[in-house]
Structure 1
């Protein structure tokens, strides 16, 4: 957890922009146009002011990937190549972990075996390496993508894996080997190998291309889905492309492995592939964490056009800015970049990419010609596509497309609006029916059960709640800093704040946690004691506190005349202002108690003593206010 850099971790999933000391982004946990998601590198925490989520690097991975806390720790350990020693887990957890880890280890072994076979064996060089060289792949790009070759004899890999101690059942589960009537053979024999890597670079599965003409065998085969490899969540080339996608703020989507590799070799490295499968919502979410600008690159033939349109509606529904660029006829991304180079490739894409709805209208109108039935079908298709755009998030975009399509298709604009709304209603109703038909335990959405937020951030908070949490905030931020007359700020707070005057139970719990640590360890806790605390509620509360955008309640200024001066340079002002609140609160409580006692005084002497005490309290109050540089003129009666 100490090794995990919050900016580096979050940056794997979200495109961050620096703003002052922090980083901001559109929140990955809810749809938004303006960034409300903030990451603090110095404090190691994140906070979204829109949906309220917050925490450290571990909790970010946990919530983003929707995995358990231990799984998030394992993800980070995998990312930073740290070996974990785990305590006892349940039998089910142990079994799942063992299978997943076995597949990871086996895939790494297989990737290295195939890579070595490609570069070091005579067969690999003659057949596999020759193929890659014919495609124009240089040695460095072959190394970068860990390309390989599986020998054709049938069971070379199986024998090598068994010799290394890998279990036959894991070889079968991974899809690397198969069993036919007791005879084991290599699934990818005689094929060149494309390892499919996850976000951390670890091999999740493989794609393999046959080199000989064989009508009975498919051209490409992929690993089967298992505990490690889930096809719908994986994009080929993401590990190599993720940084460039963020810098360019655009993702090129292509069809095949060789398209990705050729574009990288040609200097276009913000590109991924859906590996020949239809684009999925999960894959779009992965892209959307880095950029919302998606340009689909496909061949200029009819098959390429149809392929380009698949997934388009889903992308629009996820608020992508979707463009389509068809390459010159006879070219795919691989051949075209090799023919013209990176600069001309970028220029062509910039000049020829079209918005996806306009493109669909153009193609559809050519096909429809003067056929009214085809035109009616096209109008319905365009209206359904427009209905996918999130109206709340992209109202102007949806309105623009309605106007544009009405003009180009020569239909009534209000009629097009009604048709779009009809598709929206139908989809809402369909979603409702599907939700009703799901088992009860599956109906509750993950996002509907967020962890509780820190008090002080909702509309039901009491007026002074923010000030009480401010005490914890200054304690966490400045507790170790020097304070005149005390060892440090933490001691000053301990001596000057009456614990009983704190009203909120959660604030008292935090306060007690801090000073219990001091008592047990005879030292002050570091900030990461709270940001990395084993209690996730403590983590979240800390993140919320330290990223709190809300100003301290105006009640503080109105009631006591104390104006806050925030910031590292003015920490003494922060501390003094906070302490003054509690000291004044204590004085007000004592004054209120004296007011209650005055009518009950039995004689003039008792009344005089009470009045003297009251005057002394008011004098102390004035001294505190003057020390803060503020003066409030209020009558004693008030």
Structure 2
């Protein structure tokens, strides 16, 4: 168990914008930050971070909370894991008691896989540096590649003994279960034997964006025609190769800072670039680039530069990835190296200044790269040139932004010496073909579903007024609970003429005290279970803590209630995501008078509850018959009360307090 003082220190130290900034590219938006949701596929930002309130809200998925809940949601950490992660980030020493064997056994399967991978990383590192075989074979290989000890340790590189069960036997001896050794892919289990997957290979641990070990890549060093040169961990509960980029953990901060990501092919390309000083570099780890990998980069920057080997295979691979990147709405440049060179060898032979200059001078916009490459292949053949132009326009058609499309059409017209009208016509034909294919697919789906029962479209849901009013009361308590205001209560008094009229009576009180007394007077109960719980917690907290802080309050709540609170607190910031003010749309501001807002909300809730009660009585009357005189008298009393409350509400809304 982590001590309470350690947890409090983490909460006091961790800054939500800094923590989230490691995973999401945040842009200033007034007093807040906004960015693309890390929990859903989107192109318009719906993710908001408030440094003042120290909370975040993702309006696309509905998730929200503080720095700890973000780490729990994003990395699938348990609460203690998230605390430990933040403690490590901020160099906080945490006090905790040692886990018992029973607690270790209770760890879920996912956590067990992480623990096994972490142990394997440490084991392979130890073998590399502490054994004769590791030093003679593994360490020598890394040194030949030009990697320093510092770089080797930074990327947690290691070596797996050239023995059938070297790792497996040691892991079992340390108490790790064969079930999880098999599920991570570190051990291959057969009916009659079990052996190491990465026997005799140098090891490249694959980190998540937060630094956890997801899996491994292993390179064989001896010549063996039957064995693959590179081997990756198999897919598991924690490792999905199509959703991770090698080096993203080490590169994320530099990518966000430089606002650009260099994309290479292999592990050593990443490491060599990083060692030279180009740290915003990641690799697809030998797999074809996927939309999930591109979106991972898109959280940090909108710009990708694809680096490829000087051979034909490298060029073809880069072309395949361009259209995928364009489809995600990102800006893409391409940079090749001299024939016979790759990013690893070129970075090894050049200084940081030389490498930076080369990348700057030779990085081309995708259309320039594709045009120069395809024109060269066409070799003045008119038919091939026409195919080349159609190929380029096809890439442009992938871009979701219409303005970018038009600019690229103009650029293509200039480079290929062909009229813009022809290119726009070709673009329209490609788009039309895409629509036709989509319609054809929909028609086929409809044919397949022709005999299925057609469900009627759901009707638009009505606004739940009671829910909204209860939510507003919670919001007022959170934002203004300790404020002292002059509340004007309107009471009935008889005038000199004997007429009843409303007269104001001023009451000076704290907002939470006024709300509590009004709700208690009417014996009103919250219908929403979470709001009911929050109301009690907030009232108790405000009574006990004169210096109420929403940040401290959120930190003490469980995840479900914390999510409700962040949704309420961040709701008014939502308009900033869409830059309404820049488009001359000014959202209505809150009422300037807190007292007026409190009174209006309470009166509206009371009127709503009276309507609800009258409706119930009317239903009772229909069931019991017209002789139910007592019910009719109650309805008459309630209607009279509502008329009085409506007059009060009219004065509150129309007049000034």
Task: Tell me whether the two structures share a fold, i.e. TM-score over 0.5.
Answer: yes
Q: Does 1:514 align with 2:535?
A: yes
Answer whether contact 1:387 1:423 (CA < 8 A) is retained: no
CA distance, structure 2, for counterparts of residue 294 and residue 330 of structure 1? 23
Deviation at 1:382, TM superposition (A): 2.3
SS at match of 2:350: helix
Which residue of 315, 336, 358 corresponds with 1:348?
A: 358
Deviation at 1:54, TM superposition (A): 5.1
Q: Does 1:474 align with 2:464?
A: no
Q: Does 1:55 align with 2:76?
A: no
- Residue matched to 2:563: 539
**Matches for 1:442-453 after TM superposition, within 5 Å:** none
- Residue matched to 1:220: 230
* Distance change in 2, residues 1:274/1:119 (3 Å): same
- Residue matched to 1:40: 50
**Matches for 1:185-204 after TM superposition, within 5 Å:** 185-204=195-214
- Residue matched to 1:560: none
Answer whether contact 1:111 1:146 (CA < 8 A) is retained: yes
Q: Does 1:379 align with 2:389?
A: yes
Which residue of 298, 317, 328 corresponds with 2:338?
A: 328
Deviation at 1:200, TM superposition (A): 2.3
* Distance change in 2, residues 1:499/1:132 (3 Å): farther
Deviation at 1:370, TM superposition (A): 3.3
CA distance, structure 2, for counterparts of residue 200 and residue 52 of structure 1? 21
Deviation at 1:128, TM superposition (A): 1.1
CA distance, structure 2, for counterparts of residue 231 and residue 299 of structure 1? 22
CA distance, structure 2, for counterparts of residue 389 and residue 427 of structure 1? 18
CA distance, structure 2, for counterparts of residue 398 and residue 292 of structure 1? 16
- Residue matched to 2:620: none
Worse-matched range after superposition: 75-84 or 3-12: 75-84
Which residue of 402, 405, 411 corresponds with 2:412?
A: 405
Deviation at 1:129, TM superposition (A): 0.9
Deviation at 1:353, TM superposition (A): 0.9
* Distance change in 2, residues 1:332/1:529 (3 Å): same
Deviation at 1:357, TM superposition (A): 2.7
Aligned pair count reads 553
Deviation at 1:241, TM superposition (A): 1.0
**Matches for 1:100-499 after TM superposition, within 5 Å:** 100-179=110-189, 182-390=192-400, 394-409=401-416, 410=418, 412-426=422-436, 428-429=438-439, 432=442, 470-481=472-483, 488-495=510-517
Answer whether contact 1:467 1:578 (CA < 8 A) is retained: no
CA deviation map 1:554-576 (0-9, x unaligned): xxxxxxxxx9788xxxxxx6532
* Distance change in 2, residues 1:27/1:187 (3 Å): closer
* Distance change in 2, residues 1:550/1:170 (3 Å): closer
CA distance, structure 2, for counterparts of residue 359 and residue 302 of structure 1? 14
* Distance change in 2, residues 1:77/1:231 (3 Å): farther
Deviation at 1:378, TM superposition (A): 2.6
- Residue matched to 2:502: none
Q: Structure 2 length normalisation: TM-score? A: 0.71
Unaligned runs of 5+ in 2: 1-6, 88-93, 450-457, 487-506, 576-587, 609-639
Answer whether contact 1:483 1:492 (CA < 8 A) is retained: no
- Residue matched to 1:555: none
SS at match of 1:330: coil
CA distance, structure 2, for counterparts of residue 103 and residue 438 of structure 1? 42
Q: Does 1:581 align with 2:604?
A: no
Deviation at 1:413, TM superposition (A): 2.8
* Distance change in 2, residues 1:305/1:579 (3 Å): same
Q: Structure 1 length normalisation: TM-score? A: 0.73
Deviation at 1:301, TM superposition (A): 1.9
- Residue matched to 1:593: none
Answer whether contact 1:322 1:356 (CA < 8 A) is retained: yes
Answer whether contact 2:298 2:330 (CA < 8 A) is retained: yes
**Matches for 1:546-561 after TM superposition, within 5 Å:** 546-549=570-573
CA distance, structure 1, for counterparts of residue 122 and residue 363 of structure 2? 39
CA distance, structure 2, for counterparts of residue 213 and residue 203 of structure 1? 28
Unaligned runs of 5+ in 1: 87-93, 440-448, 552-562, 567-572, 590-609, 629-638
SS at match of 2:335: strand
Deviation at 1:432, TM superposition (A): 4.3
* Distance change in 2, residues 1:129/1:84 (3 Å): same
CA deviation map 1:117-147 (0-9, x unaligned): 1111111111111111111111111110111
* Distance change in 2, residues 1:430/1:495 (3 Å): same
Answer whether contact 1:62 1:72 (CA < 8 A) is retained: yes
Deviation at 1:299, TM superposition (A): 1.4
* Distance change in 2, residues 1:322/1:78 (3 Å): farther
Answer whether contact 1:296 1:324 (CA < 8 A) is retained: yes
CA deviation map 1:89-115 (0-9, x unaligned): xxxxx9997432332222112111111
**Matches for 1:606-625 after TM superposition, within 5 Å:** none
- Over aligned residues, Cα RMSD in angstroms? 4.6
* Distance change in 2, residues 1:313/1:478 (3 Å): same
CA distance, structure 2, for counterparts of residue 8 and residue 210 of structure 1? 40
SS at match of 2:185: coil
CA deviation map 1:5-48 (0-9, x unaligned): 54344323311134554222244546345x55321134343235
Which residue of 24, 28, 32 corresponds with 1:22?
A: 32
Answer whether contact 1:501 1:582 (CA < 8 A) is retained: no
CA distance, structure 2, for counterparts of residue 194 and residue 252 of structure 1? 19
* Distance change in 2, residues 1:356/1:145 (3 Å): same
CA deviation map 1:312-363 (0-9, x unaligned): 2111111110110112333221222222212221221122111213311221
Deviation at 1:495, TM superposition (A): 3.5
Worse-matched range after superposition: 373-382 or 329-338: 373-382
CA distance, structure 1, for counterparts of residue 149 and residue 440 of structure 2? 52
CA distance, structure 2, for counterparts of residue 436 and residue 537 of structure 1? 43
Deviation at 1:297, TM superposition (A): 0.9
